[in-house]
Amino acid sequence: MGSKIIGLGMYVPPKTMTNEDLEKMVETSDSWIVERTGIKLRRIAERGSATSDLCLEASRLALADAGVSPSEIDIIIVATCTPDMPLPSTACFLQKKIGAGRAFALDLNAACAGFLYALSTADAMIRIGRGKKALVVGGEILSSVTDFTDRNTCILFGDGAGAVVLSECPDGEGVLSCHLYSDGNLWELIYAPGCGTVNPCGPEIVEKRMHAIRLAGNEVFKQAVTKMTEVSLEALQRNGVSVADINLLVPHQANMRIISAVGKRLGVPDEKVFVNLERFGNTSAASVPIALTEARERGRMAKGDLVLLTAFGAGLTWGSALLRM
């Protein structure tokens, strides 16, 4: 047995933050941001809304798309690095809000690679018989861990959620393979030092903006290009397919230059690479399921297509998955 995606959904909050808005907050310009990242706009959640609220909206749409009721869900996995609270898990809040009474629910944090880690985990659970249907969600309110006085990071991130419903299927359909990697030695390239056990939350931590994401942009950039290319090739090799067989590449939406470099190294033509980061920025774990949902909505992906996913994030973490839609 394997698993396949039978429903897709996404949600982004209505409030937008443009590059022009950021020009008023830090020393930056629309032209710099567009040229260096490709981002024009990001969505920002209202203060007081929870990551699980965004996940709920995306999940409702994914379940409706699948024609599956919440009571049929056995497994809920939420990939997030911005949970509602340290405990309980955001997945438990989502379970309550959506009414998936019989599911077991857990969070998973692999930062921007989180959705691929969650997809792989849910797929493996279905394969070993832990359940037949899973709700796999990537959701983030990154604006809650963004330092809006730091121009190196505040231009990059946005809020949102994407969800898929995975269902048991015969082997050789759906999720064909997943490939995951981590390198904790390089944790200092992207991290948020405050409000964990090492630097417990307090006024001083927040004052020093230690709750916010710090990024060695240039080094992350190089690592992201190398690792996403390598792990994408691994997915193709494992399945005995060539780049020409791929109908669509759906990469993590961090930076247009990273996406272009990965596409170029793999030899995937631009028209087979899905990009929507100009409107949402980097939404971390939400980026891949949001992109997948939009790709199908825009007619870029059809039943039977071979779709390659790849992502890279803090940890470091990275991965790929090859899907037969």
Known catalytic residue at 282: yes
Q: Nearest distance from residue 273's CB to ligand UT7, in Å?
A: 16
Indicate left, alpha or beta for 171 from its phi (over 0: left) and psi (-120 to 50: alpha): beta
The 159-169 sheet, strands edge to edge: 2-11, 159-169, 133-141, 75-79, 104-108
Residue given tokens 């109908």 in the structure block: 247
272-300 burial string, b = 16+ CB within 10 Å, else e?
Answer: bbbbbbebbbbbbbbbbbbbbbbbbeeeb
Angle, helices 256-266/30-37, rounded to nearest 10 degrees: 20
Query: Which is nearer to ligand UT7, 30 or 305 (by Cβ)?
Result: 30
Q: What is the widest separation between alpha-carbon atoms in the chain? A: 55
Query: Which is nearer to ligand UT7, 221 or 280 (by Cβ)?
Result: 221
Residues 6+ apart with CB under 8 A from 150: 26, 209, 212
Beta strands in the chain (DSSP E): 2-11, 16-18, 41-43, 75-79, 104-108, 133-141, 159-169, 174-182, 190-191, 214-215, 248-251, 306-313, 317-324
Picking from 111, 116, 118, 117, the residue whose alpha carbon sits closest to that of residue 94 is 118
Q: Nearest distance from residue 39's CB to ligand UT7, in Å?
A: 9
State which residue has the least CB distance to ligand UT7: 217
Query: Which is nearer to ligand UT7, 32 or 181 (by Cβ)?
Result: 32
Q: Nearest distance from residue 314's CB to ligand UT7, in Å?
A: 7
Query: Which is nearer to ligand UT7, 95 or 153 (by Cβ)?
Result: 153
Q: Which one of the listed residues 81, 252, 255, 276 is annotated catalytic?
A: 252
Contact positions vs ligand UT7 (CB under 6 A): 28, 32, 36-37, 112, 151-152, 155, 190, 217-218, 220-221, 224, 254-255, 258, 282, 312-313
Q: Nearest distance from residue 210's CB to ligand UT7, in Å?
A: 19
Known catalytic residue at 211: no
Dihedral sign from CA coordinates of 241, 247, 137, 159: positive
Q: Nearest distance from residue 15's CB to ligand UT7, in Å?
A: 21
Token pair of 40, please?
């024009």
Pairing status of strand 248-251 against strand 306-313:
parallel
Q: Rg (Cα) of the chain, in Å, rounded?
A: 18
Token pair of 311, please?
């992502």
Q: Nearest distance from residue 171's CB to ligand UT7, in Å?
A: 32
Q: Nearest distance from residue 33's CB to ligand UT7, in Å?
A: 6
d(CA 277, CA 246): 21
Known catalytic residue at 154: no
Q: Which one of the listed residues 81, 92, 112, 169 is annotated catalytic?
A: 112
List active site positions.
Answer: 112, 252, 282
